[in-house]
Amino acid sequence: MRIIPAIDIINGKCVRLSKGDYNTQKIYNENPLEMAKKFEAHGIKYLHLVDLDGAKAQAIVNYKVLESIAKNTNLKIDFGGGLKSDADLRIAFESGANQITGGSVAVKNPALFKTWLQIYGADKIILGADAKNETIAVNGWLETSDKALIPFIKDYVKAGISTVICTDISKDGMLQGPSFELYKKIIEQIPNLKLIASGGISHFDELPILAKLGCEAVIIGKAIYEHKISLKILEKYLLMSH
């Protein structure tokens, strides 16, 4: 199972929110590049970079941060947050994103999202399925849609999506454990999906459980910043799993 630390950006700084609420932001590092280099030094190869300003503005904002991390590390970066247009996507890839994650756009403009999938291919485009009570939420989670999570994912698998990041918003940033039951359900119903678990990871012991369920990767945010999971133990896990 791949380990993907998360860096969320507001005003060019590395922050975390609780349940996606912008009023709960806590700054952990003024310099995201420094943080990314620290991850890389511990054997981590992937990064989930979220432009929270972009999610709010509904257009890419912090592409300079993406560029500096892409230029100064070898991390494979998946980038999301407010990607709504072809121009946004072009900027993200030109700034060094290895993959992009589309959340709100996949709900509100499925035709555009499917075009991206056709142009760039399934290994470049990740579906961000953020859910509250198994219902899809959009726009930095500021609103919920009327779409049920599993049918929504199934439709996109039919359209060619192979990788999905599923975040349970009620768990995100709460450090109370991830949605094991939800992931189990998704994997049982959509067997060949590359499912990336995200939200609520609080303890190292949760990782082997997610791996056993069949999650292809896990995104870890606040647990790293609050020192609930050390980079050293992640480094060891990565060495052992090779």
Which residues does the annotation mark as catalytic? 8, 130
Spatial CB neighbours of 24, under 8 Å, sequence gap ≥ 6: 17, 18, 173
Spatial CB neighbours of 14, under 8 Å, sequence gap ≥ 6: 7, 8, 27, 28, 29, 30, 31, 32, 35
CA atoms within 13 A on the CB side of 234: 27
Terminal CA-CA length for the chain: 10
Query: Is 76 within 8 Å of 47 (Cβ atoms)?
Result: yes
**150, 152, 151, 154: which is closest to 179 by C-alpha?**
150
